[in-house]
Structure 1
């Protein structure tokens, strides 16, 4: 099954991150380093009293959950696919950690967890697929403790139009920009894409605060694969380029994904 977490266990990170890997995996890290860097800083701020209670909503096969468990946190993946949960169990066993897997969707969170019981909830590439993103995010906030955090990763509508245009589908790129759900047509496999403003409005509407948005995969999906895949040094250069791009808000518009960390006041 495809893991829609948007991050993977092969991800490298900045100083102080316990999931950093060797340079041989640097190429894969180019697509995910920015997210892990942000999570690394967040974990340092939240984990003053020991291991965190983390819920990965729609966490797939554990691409994010297993590395977080390796850091000593208590992680639960809520995932509708039994095949993905089975793969999660295998991945966790291979890494020698325990990750709880529960079959369910965002609308089930209130029945699976006590209110305010999670220190951190990951919602990575999930809001594109739910029927009602606003309701889904409110369900997430309901299980997040006061002072806790929500990590949101969504597909960027503006970048979707850019990629369609670069592929030669000019009319579809124009339709995507004019569509409220950020889709280029009926055959579009992505149910929904978000603009930066739509993501900020979701955060605000859910009662969360501090949702600054950073771009993820600004260059990684534009640079031809032959230029860096399989070349550890070139891959590491791309990782550093992605990190630099994240510090330039003007580049957020062309990033494949948008990442926001918001807090429950």
Structure 2
């Protein structure tokens, strides 16, 4: 869950949200942010400390209509057991939403930066060092498609995320509103169609429980 930014957005939109975070510091930040929200929003959010690989210790099977796992799998060396646990939490017809680093396009970032040694190495690996300096991993579309089928939440749709904007630096000033709308429209369209979505920095996969 991290610091709870997206959890709060969902709660503000009217959804009941349960967030699971193993890092006590991150959880404290999320709880502080939640405490500043109106009572109606606070009542819709439950924050728990725990490991996403041990969901069975916290939740009954079929407990949720939607399970979000965004920006997490790159930090999990062996994610299959974790994904199976997430799928077990879904009610029939429930949605499992994954946001992962695109292992089929790892060479794009170093290549566009002119790092040819890094680009050549990335063709044959799913391991990389992220912008935080951490050694992490990416997932390939075919592999996750097979995994989702095997855990009973087969892939229904997938999208590319950050097709054109992966080079944007954190903290960079946003363009004017009209230009930002065009940027988002271009990203949205590219993320839905080939060949663009296949070279996106991230993949958004949606599996549905049978």
Q: Give the TM bin, normalised by the shorter chain.
A: 0.7 to 0.9
1:85 aligns with 2:27: yes
Which consecutive residues of structure 1, in runs of 5 or more, have no partner in the other structure? 1-58
TM-score by length of 1: 0.70
2:147 paired residue number: 202
Which consecutive residues of structure 2, in runs of 5 or more, have no partner in the other structure? none
Structure 2 distance, partners of 1:124, 1:250, is 23
SS in structure 2 at match of 1:122: strand
Q: 1:226 to 1:207 in 2, by over 3 A?
A: closer
1:9 paired residue number: none
Task: Kindly report the root-mean-square deviation, in angstroms, between the aligned alpha carbons of the 2 structures.
Answer: 2.5
> Higher mean Cα deviation, 144-153 or 220-229?
220-229
2:7 paired residue number: 65
1:225: Cα distance to partner?
A: 9.0
Structure 2 distance, partners of 1:225, 1:117, is 36
Match of 1:239 among 184, 200, 204: 184
TM-score by length of 2: 0.87
1:199: Cα distance to partner?
A: 2.3
1:90: Cα distance to partner?
A: 2.1
Q: Which structure: greater strand fraction?
A: 2
1:18-63 per-residue CA deviation (whole Å, 9 max, x = no partner) reads: xxxxxxxxxxxxxxxxxxxxxxxxxxxxxxxxxxxxxxxxx11112
Aligned length in residues: 205
1:163 paired residue number: 109
1:114-165 per-residue CA deviation (whole Å, 9 max, x = no partner) reads: 1111111101111111132111100101111111111010011233311111
